[in-house]
């Protein structure tokens, strides 16, 4: 059985771009590998490297779990669990922190970038953000993962994971498998409806630019009808001169399976109002089944908690022998 590991962060409001990109891309990756078992970790410990609203974070954990299950993840075959529900992640993360040279962490560009973006805490960014990569290494190495699909922005972190595993193996003997890392294939890029020059974001305070997975049909319709376009009235794809219309064409192509060029031809002279209306209805039709399944899970939190708890127990049963092996080799005290 090939083990595939993916970590998804429950921060911000999940939107259609997250679904078409990260979640459906995960399905494609798993389906391409015969006899695969996936570990889907909701990495809530990574989320708190930046200050979070506790109630909002808890709700986002449930929403992410509901989206994964609604998308068709078989939680009996695969392992779906919150990272914080398995204490082995923080345990192993500390072990890795202790053997990782500070120089390695100093090179991490994401830490530097996030520190610059963090305005309220710019002078006192938490140490957790600095040590993020060693916790990420624990997420990956605890399960002897064979394959870890990641976005290009995580390339440096996963390279560090390999360095940490090799260093541990060199110091204490062969313990951790060095997994194969696969850069996610290019996915559909969805841009902000109000600012089509930037990607749709789940963390923007302005909700008008994204189509959230929790939006009602009316909300989706209003957001798309108010999407920024241009002064022309011709529907055609031109990402530089017509970013708003081009973004809507990409969205409609993604949710209908049609080519954006064919859609542009159909609506070329129909006017922006008619085109936006058609895009809205296509998105509503596409998301409706997933949203209904999401609501079913979110309406029964005890059932959702049971699924996550069972996933965490399965994850712990796999990770804990690996932690005990590492602890033994490092000479730490073993209880019992």
SS (H, E, C) 92-155: HHHHHHHHCCHHHHHCCHHHHHHHHHCCCCCCCCCHHHHCHHHHHHHHHHCCCCCEEEECHHHH
Q: Is the pLDDT of residue 78 over 80?
A: yes
**Active-site position among 199, 222, 293, 329:** 199
**Active-site position among 115, 189, 202, 293:** 202
Residue 231 is given by DSSP the state S
Average pLDDT estimate for 10-36: 89
Dmax over CA atoms of the chain, in Å, equals 76
Q: Is the dihedral of CA 305, 2, 88, 101 positive or negative?
A: negative
What pTM does this model have? 0.90
Asked if 189 and 224 count as a contact pair (C-beta separation under 8 A), the reply is no
Token digits of residue 38: 């996936």
Cα separation, 149 vs 46, in Å, equals 18
CA 157 to chain centre: 15
pLDDT band at 25 (very low <50, low <70, confident <90, very high): confident
- Range from 12-21, 189-198, 267-276, 322-331 carrying the lowest mean pLDDT: 12-21
Q: Provide the pLDDT for residue 168.
A: 98
Let me know how long the chain is.
336
pLDDT band at 205 (very low <50, low <70, confident <90, very high): confident
Q: Is the pLDDT of residue 252 over 70?
A: yes
Q: List, for residues 131-168, the tens digit of each pLDDT value.
A: 999 999 999 999 999 999 877 777 888 899 999 999 99
Q: List, for residues 278-318, the tens digit of each pLDDT value.
A: 999 999 999 999 999 999 999 999 999 999 999 999 999 99
Q: Provide the pLDDT for residue 151.
A: 74
Asked if 244 and 230 count as a contact pair (C-beta separation under 8 A), the reply is yes
Q: Is 76 a catalytic residue?
A: no
SS3 15: strand
Q: Provide the pLDDT for residue 224.
A: 98
Helices of type H across 173-300 = 217-225, 243-256, 260-267, 272-298
Q: Is the pLDDT of residue 187 over 80?
A: no
Q: What is the dihedral of CA 74, 77, 80, 84, to 10 degrees?
A: 170
The CA angle 137-106-110, to the nearest 5 degrees, is 65
Distance from first CA to last CA of the chain, Å, rounded?
A: 33
Report the candidate in 239, 243, 236, 242 with the shortest Cα–Cα distance to residue 264. Answer: 236
Q: Is 242 a catalytic residue?
A: no
Q: Is the pLDDT of residue 120 over 60?
A: no
Q: Is the pLDDT of residue 229 over 70?
A: yes
Report the candidate in 45, 52, 48 with the shortest Cα–Cα distance to residue 126. Answer: 48
Domains and CATH numbers, the chain: 2-183+300-330 (3.40.50.620), 207-296 (1.10.240.10)
Q: Number of helices (H) and strands (E), helices first, in the chain?
A: 15, 5
- Range from 115-124, 189-198, 241-250, 287-296 carrying the lowest mean pLDDT: 115-124
Q: List, for residues 29-71, the tens digit of each pLDDT value.
A: 888 888 899 999 999 999 998 889 999 999 999 999 999 999 9
Residue 195 is given by DSSP the state -
**Active-site position among 114, 189, 222, 329:** 114
Q: Is 202 a catalytic residue?
A: yes
Q: Provide the pLDDT for residue 221.
A: 98
Q: Provide the pLDDT for residue 176.
A: 97
């Amino acid at each position: 059985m090939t083990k595939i590991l993916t970590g998804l962060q429950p921060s911000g409001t999940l939107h259609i771009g997250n679904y078409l990109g990260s979640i459906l891309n995960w399905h494609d990756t798993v389906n391409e590998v015969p006899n695969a078992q996936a570990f889907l970790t909701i990495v809530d410990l990574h989320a708190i490297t930046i200050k979070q609203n506790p109630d909002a974070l808890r709700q986002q954990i449930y929403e992410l779990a509901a989206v994964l299950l609604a998308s068709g993840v078989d939680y009996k075959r695969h392992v779906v669990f919150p990272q914080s529900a398995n204490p082995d992640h923080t345990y192993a993360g500390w072990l890795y922190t202790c053997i990782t040279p500070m120089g390695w962490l100093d090179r991490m560009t994401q830490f530097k970038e996030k520190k610059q973006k963090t305005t309220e805490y710019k002078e006192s960014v938490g140490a957790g953000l600095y040590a993020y990569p060693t916790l990420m290494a624990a997420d990956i190495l605890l399960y002897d993962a064979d394959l870890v699909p990641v976005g290009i922005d995580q390339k440096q972190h996963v390279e560090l994971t390999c360095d940490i595993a090799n260093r541990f193996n060199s110091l204490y003997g062969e313990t951790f498998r060095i997994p194969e890392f696969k850069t996610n294939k290019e996915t559909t890029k969805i841009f902000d409806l109000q600012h089509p020059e930037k990607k749709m974001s789940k963390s923007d305070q302005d909700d008008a630019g994204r189509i959230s997975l929790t939006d009602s049909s009316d909300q989706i319709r209003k957001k798309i009808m108010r999407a920024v376009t241009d002064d022309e009235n011709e529907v055609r794809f031109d990402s530089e001169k017509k970013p708003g219309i081009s973004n809507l064409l990409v969205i409609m192509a993604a949710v209908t399976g049609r080519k954006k060029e064919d859609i542009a031809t159909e609506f070329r002279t129909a006017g922006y109002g008619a085109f936006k209306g058609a895009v809205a209805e296509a998105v509503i039709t596409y998301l409706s089944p997933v949203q209904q399944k999401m609501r079913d899970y979110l309406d029964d939190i005890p059932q959702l908690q049971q699924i996550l708890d069972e996933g965490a127990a399965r994850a712990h049963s796999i990770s804990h022998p690996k932690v005990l092996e590492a602890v033994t080799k490092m000479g730490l005290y073993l209880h019992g």
